């Protein structure tokens, strides 16, 4: 079943099951001939209707041999590696309270036991830390499903990984997917934009980086804004990052190439007081770091997404080139001068990689430079970017835009070629004859004289001299699978030196021609009107096929008509493609409109289907919370609480945001709610239903680590025995506690929420003491008992 023939539901289901190496098909003699490996015989014999994925594609091999991504002598090794299973990899969350214990367990328990298990001749491979990842926080292990089922050591190891991943102490992630964030050089105070963030493993990694050096009970000065175009993938992103329990994250739902400029328009909203505007620390949302991990054809993930073998074709990369350029240019326009942007793909195709980087450099002139990062992460094996490549279109190899037939100039644009030159820049002699020749040949791949054409995709004809880029593309990085037993990845690191040129239209760089300032000279080319998108399928950086919602053909068709999307002035807000926008209130007043319906008096924000974000300024309720828990005045509390509904009397959850996120929220509100925010803030308080107490809001388990150092009331210390009893039975009557002192103090607690802290050494403590090793849980003091208010997964970890 081809990619174009699937319904939307089928595509969605297919994307969710990509990591399964088997699929149900009808009997297909061709697949039977090409596909079956010996180790799959058992599965086939038990169910003859199941067939393995084919792991070969003649067009794929011909294409990459011609592009020369690896030397000829390495080709067989390269292909053998692509057909082998991908080692499992995971990363320890360095901001986790117990990350050192997890690291020690891997080094002193699993690493040694697995090595011992391998000495008996079995195929078990010991886990090992990835040598290039800082502080031994990333690990790799190779094992099969059969070994997981039958080997007790591996089974225990697998259960350990599964539990720690669900809790958030580790993140399962392909090794090469961990590389791009490392080259961002993230600092704790950085504002970071992750443009195409779902499913969220890199976002989680960025959050780890800004939280890594944060002190107990404090938050870093920076934040991560994670964006994705697809609503369902945003939900996946939210679920993934929820394990981090951070107040420094905001999730938005926008097309990356149209990501809005959140710029303070001082004339917006006549009701805004001038002093309110002056109080803001920022008046324009720009970022110190931008991660631009764009949608791509994804052939670098063949080892874990083997279905790509069957459906791969050269048109996949060609069709995404324009979108990738648009997203990268938008990222650079949102980057601060002096900031750093990483562009990355999980594709091996130079049309999606070096061609995009070259086009970015041509458009930006001297305002952006490509950084040489060869000295960073020295143990990471990488190869330099290509300076030469070709474009294949409809089975025809092209070395320059001059060879593109008139009928294909919408699909094949000058920026795909190394020089970026259009035919208007070509030498005078022979140009008319060549174009005439191409028109006579047509676009069917058959040539009268063999110039620039191929008779068979598997046997390319020698063509004219290839173009070579004069830009420093060797500073890009290519990671190929057989160098370190990984997937394939491409990374380029940009540094913004000055504001981008004001005019951003389709243009090319002419070697030797510069402006008076020494920047590249731009020249307009004919506008591209459409592109053949029938063969285009997008995957994200982990090899998951994007749903149809992510991008329609119309978006790809507008590939060349991108003046608006490439606007470099962030103050200009792109208003196109916003069908979800809700009009201002009918009475003409500024702000959201109050509507009635099945939901009681829900206030609509600017974006349909998204709950509004409101700062929680109810002084009575906030004061009650502070007094009940004894929250210190030194803790930044006022103005940091938000809610997602407007029925103030029945607020269910109260979220806490960091200072950096608070500033962005205030700016977004005054700028007219340009950001479509799907999730923001750390859930800190939750209303307890049907209770009679001075404070109906309990501290959530997510909020305990941040708030615990700043509360002076409702704290009680439990001995290890009683603490374990609470975890095991979840609710204990006062008389059943072992320690008499704990029993007495717990019974004297005021009715409502409390924090129970593990007193590891049974010390006598006159006042609360909290440090990095403190273990605490949120509980509820009832009439005759203490009840644990922690989810089962966290209880399992603590036990």
Structure token digits, residue 652:
């269910």
d(CA 474, CA 108): 41
Contacts of 683 (CB under 8 A, 6+ apart): 653, 654, 655, 700, 702, 703
- Residue in 715, 10, 581 with CA at minimum distance from that of residue 254: 581
Catalytic residues: 346
How far apart, in Å, are the Cα atoms of 215 and each of 95, 218, 557? 10, 5, 50
Ramachandran class of 442: left when φ > 0, alpha when ψ lies in -120 to 50, beta otherwise? left
Residue 256 DSSP label? G
**Cα separation of the two ends of the chain:** 48
d(CA 529, CA 544): 29
Helix residue ranges per DSSP H, 139-200: 145-150, 152-167, 179-182
- Residue in 165, 177, 337, 163 with CA at minimum distance from that of residue 239: 165
Helix (H, G, I), strand (E, B), or coil: what is residue 383?
strand
d(CA 341, CA 256): 14
Structure token digits, residue 667:
């700016």
Q: Are 671 and 268 in contact (CB under 8 A)?
A: yes
Question: Per DSSP, what are the bridge partners of residue 495?
Answer: 340, 369
d(CA 693, CA 793): 28
Structure token digits, residue 655:
């979220």
d(CA 606, CA 608): 7
How far apart, in Å, are the Cα atoms of 188 and each of 218, 226, 300, 506? 12, 16, 31, 37
Contacts of 701 (CB under 8 A, 6+ apart): 777, 778, 789, 790, 791, 794
Q: Are 172 and 90 in contact (CB under 8 A)?
A: yes
How many residues in total does the chain contain?
799
Stated as kind and residue range, the H or E segment containing 227 is: strand 223-227
d(CA 364, CA 292): 16
DSSP string, 35-60: H--GGGHHHHHH-TTEEEPP---HHH
Contacts of 662 (CB under 8 A, 6+ apart): 639, 640
Q: Are 25 and 8 in contact (CB under 8 A)?
A: no
Question: Per DSSP, what are the bridge partners of residue 680?
Answer: 250
């Amino acid at each position: 079943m081809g990619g174009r023939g699937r319904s939307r539901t089928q595509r969605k289901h297919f994307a969710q099951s990509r990591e399964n190496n088997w699929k149900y098909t009808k009997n297909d003699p061709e697949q039977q001939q090409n596909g079956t490996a010996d180790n799959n015989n058992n599965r086939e014999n038990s169910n003859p209707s199941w067939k393995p994925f084919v792991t070969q594609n003649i067009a794929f091999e011909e294409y990459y041999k011609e592009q020369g991504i690896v030397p000829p002598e390495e080709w067989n090794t390269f292909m053998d590696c692509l057909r082998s299973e991908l080692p499992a990899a995971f990363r320890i969350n360095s901001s986790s309270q117990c990350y050192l214990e997890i690291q020690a367990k891997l080094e002193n328990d699993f690493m040694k036991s697995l090595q011992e298990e391998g000495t008996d001749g079995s195929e078990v491979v010991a886990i090992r830390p990835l040598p290039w990842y800082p502080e031994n926080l990333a690990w790799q292990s190779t094992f099969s499903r059969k070994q997981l089922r039958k080997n007790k050591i591996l089974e225990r190891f697998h259960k350990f990984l599964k539990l720690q991943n669900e809790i958030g102490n580790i993140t399962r992630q392909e090794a090469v997917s961990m590389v791009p964030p490392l080259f961002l050089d993230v600092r704790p105070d950085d504002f970071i934009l992750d443009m195409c963030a779902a499913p969220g493993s890199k976002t989680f990694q960025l959050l780890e980086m800004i939280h890594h050096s944060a002190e107990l009970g404090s938050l870093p000065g920076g934040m991560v804004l994670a964006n994705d175009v697809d609503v369902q993938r945003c939900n996946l992103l939210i679920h993934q990052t929820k394990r981090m329990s951070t107040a420094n994250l905001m999730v938005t739902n926008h097309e990356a190439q149209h990501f809005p400029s959140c710029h303070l328009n001082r004339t917006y909203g006549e009701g805004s007081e001038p002093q309110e505007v002056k109080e803001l620390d920022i008046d324009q949302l720009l970022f110190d770091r931008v991660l631009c991990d764009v949608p791509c054809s994804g052939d670098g993930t063949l080892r874990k997404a083997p279905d790509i073998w069957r459906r791969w074709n050269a048109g996949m990369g060609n069709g995404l080139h324009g979108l990738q350029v648009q997203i990268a240019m938008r990222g650079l326009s949102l980057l601060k001068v002096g900031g750093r942007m990483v562009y990355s793909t999980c594709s091996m195709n130079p049309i999606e990689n070096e061609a995009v980087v070259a086009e970015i450099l041509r458009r930006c002139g001297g305002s952006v430079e490509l950084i040489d990062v060869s000295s960073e992460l020295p143990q990471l094996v990488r190869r330099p970017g290509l300076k030469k490549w070709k474009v294949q279109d409809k089975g025809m190899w092209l070395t320059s835009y001059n060879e593109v037939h008139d009928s294909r100039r919408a699909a094949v644009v000058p920026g795909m070629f190394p020089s970026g030159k259009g035919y208007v820049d070509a030498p005078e002699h022979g140009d008319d004859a060549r174009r005439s020749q191409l028109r006579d040949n047509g676009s069917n791949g058959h040539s009268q004289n063999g110039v620039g054409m191929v008779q068979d995709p598997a046997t390319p004809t020698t063509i004219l001299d290839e173009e070579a880029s004069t830009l420093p593309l060797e500073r890009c990085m290519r990671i190929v699978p057989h160098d370190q037993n990984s997937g394939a990845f491409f990374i380029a690191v940009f540094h913004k030196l000055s504001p981008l040129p004001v005019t951003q239209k389709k243009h090319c760089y002419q070697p030797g021609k510069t402006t008076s300032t020494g920047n590249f000279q731009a020249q307009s080319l004919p506008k591209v009107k459409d592109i053949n998108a029938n063969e285009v399928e997008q995957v994200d950086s982990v090899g998951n096929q994007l749903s149809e919602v992510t991008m329609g053909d119309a978006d790809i068709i507008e590939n060349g008509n991108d003046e608006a999307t490439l606007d470099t002035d962030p103050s200009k807000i792109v208003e196109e493609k916003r069908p979800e926008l809700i009009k201002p209130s009918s009475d003409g007043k500024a702000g959201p409109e109050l509507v009635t319906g099945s939901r009681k008096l829900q206030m609509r924000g600017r974006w349909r289907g998204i709950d509004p974000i409101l700062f929680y300024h109810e002084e009575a309720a906030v004061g009650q919370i502070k007094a009940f828990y004894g929250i210190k005045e030194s803790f930044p509390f006022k103005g940091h609480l938000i809610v997602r509904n407007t029925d103030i009397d029945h607020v269910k959850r109260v979220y806490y945001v960091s200072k950096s996120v608070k500033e962005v929220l205030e700016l977004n509100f005054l700028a007219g709610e340009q950001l479509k925010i799907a999730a923001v803030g750390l859930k800190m308080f939750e209303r307890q239903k049907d209770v009679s107490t001075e404070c109906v809001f309990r501290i959530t388990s997510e909020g305990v680590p941040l708030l615990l150092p700043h509360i002076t009331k409702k704290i009680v210390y439990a001995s290890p025995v009683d603490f374990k009893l609470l975890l095991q039975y979840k609710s204990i009557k006062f008389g059943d506690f072992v320690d008499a002192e704990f029993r007495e103090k717990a019974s004297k607690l005021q009715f409502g929420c409390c924090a129970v802290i593990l007193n590891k050494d049974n010390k006598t403590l006159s006042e609360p003491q909290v440090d990095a090793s403190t273990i605490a849980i949120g509980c509820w003091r009832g009439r005759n008992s203490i009840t644990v208010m922690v989810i089962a997964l966290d209880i399992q970890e603590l036990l």
